[in-house]
Amino acid sequence: MTTIQEVQKLSHFIGGKKVEGTSGRFGEVFNPSTGEVIAGVPLATAEETKQAIELAKKGQVEWQAKSLAKKMEVVLNFRNLLYSRQDELVDIVCLESGKTKADALGEITRGLESVDLALSAPHLLKGEYSVNVGGNINAFSTKSPLGVVAAIAPFNFPVMVPVAMTSMAVAVGNSVILKPSEKVPHSALFISELWAEAGLPEGVWSVVNGDKEVVDELLKNEDVSAISFVGSTRIAEYVYQTGTQHGKRVAAFGGGKNHMIIMPDADLEQAATAFLGAAYGAASQRCMAISTAMPVGEETAEKFVSILNEKVRALKVGPYTDEQVDFGPVISKEAKQNVLSEINNSIEEGASLVIDGRNPEICESSEGYYLGPTLLDNVTPDMKIYKEEVFGPARIVVRVPSLEDAIDLVNKHELGNGVTIYTNSGAASRKFTSEIEVGMVGVNVPIPIPVGYYNFGGWKSSKFGEGHMFGPDTVRFFTKNKTISERWPEDQLEQASFSFPSN
């Protein structure tokens, strides 16, 4: 087995160039398809992080002073480079995350949507102007960048999420420090090279690799104005609480327990096919993955599970080098053990094991972190596997007698990221979309993640803070408003006024 001493040592990207780590600490980067160590990622100290912040402050002054036209030229250059080199990036994503090539390409495509939105920054930055609001005073507003902002990204989307978190932040004039997941550092370093080639001034974009020491410095450093985070709900709450305690604007996106409600009038074949990809794609390592099928009525449940059983058994698991596979491994050995534990525990609690994915054939020939698709029926809301997010291919069926019961269960769950309903009834759809308490809602849509020009964000414990990822709200999150009242007095001498100004 390869060890960290035998592989390439990666770097940070600070001040417009790659910078070797000085801490002497390295984390192992694995190829989850084989279990092999492929690189060592430096784990920065708080002092290294402070140095990156100082360079980001200097770079931001130069970047903010540039015209909007020049900023958009750089963003457009970055967009074109990302598009033209996406094949290279696909290989990187597959190597370090285990995704299939089709899934990696889809992720990059969604990331490009965020850059496309960032190119509309000149329009979204426009303020307001009112003439003669009173006393010959004109009032107008402007939007200014915050300064230095930070993004803390997850492993499951090494490209889409970092790009979505940062493109608008750069476009409106901020400097960005990205702390990628230490499990997938290659993608962030590749993106850094694209920004440099696009013409972004030194220091405006930095990548600081590391663990909690880096995160805590970003959360507490007074020169960092805002934090965008994506990860587990537990860590999202920590990031929100710590960041806001230190005066920062924070948008922290946590986990999801996303339901698909299947009505009796739905096309069950179509619904099962939709569930298949939404539930098991990317080895179920998506915060917007559908984890829970909720058929309404026993007859619907029996038919749906029967159709789904056949489809799930046909899924193929394997490495990204095999273009016939439907999904690859989970990210790590620890992740695999966590999923196995959830499956075993649910069986002990009384769930019915429809399909057992604990020992797929590929496990016998590979050291990769593979799990086959598991399907559990007759899961009840009091079971642990229903209450918690499971980041792996163990999906569940919760049977409900009515749409009202389905809505009630979804609304009671502490997580509220995404939900969808499959139905041919407009009345059912209207009731569902009106009463459901979830941030992103689908009707006959398997994964209700919005397009790049709509706001992304869940409700309840799936999101902490008022910011969003994607959409026009990213401009509001990464800027601060200034309102100016302006009057040019005439020649005559004015008298002092001691009353409160009014119109």
The residues carrying an active-site annotation are: 287
> Is beta strand 418-422 parallel, antiparallel or unpaired with respect to 479-486?
unpaired
Residue (of 129, 219, 143, 118) closest to 470 by Cα position: 118
Q: What is the largest CA-CA distance in the chain?
A: 93
Token pair belonging to 258: 């996303």
Q: Which helix (H) or strand (E) holds 49?
A: helix 46-65
Q: What angle do CA 151, 152, 154 make, to 5 degrees?
A: 130
Token pair belonging to 4: 């960290």
Residue (of 205, 163, 216) closest to 18 by Cα position: 205
Q: How far apart are CA 401 and CA 296, in angstroms?
A: 5
In single-letter form, the type of residue at position 134 comes to G
Q: Which helix (H) or strand (E) holds 253?
A: strand 249-253
Strands of the sheet with 36-42, listed across from one edge = 8-9, 36-42, 26-31
CB 364 within 8 A of CB 345: no
Q: How far apart are CA 385 and CA 334, in angstroms?
A: 17
Token pair belonging to 46: 């708080």
Task: State the residue for tokens 């997938």.
Answer: 184
Beta strand residue intervals within 135-247, DSSP E? 137-145, 148-152, 175-179, 205-207, 224-230
CB 167 within 8 A of CB 115: yes
3-state DSSP call for residue 442?
Answer: strand
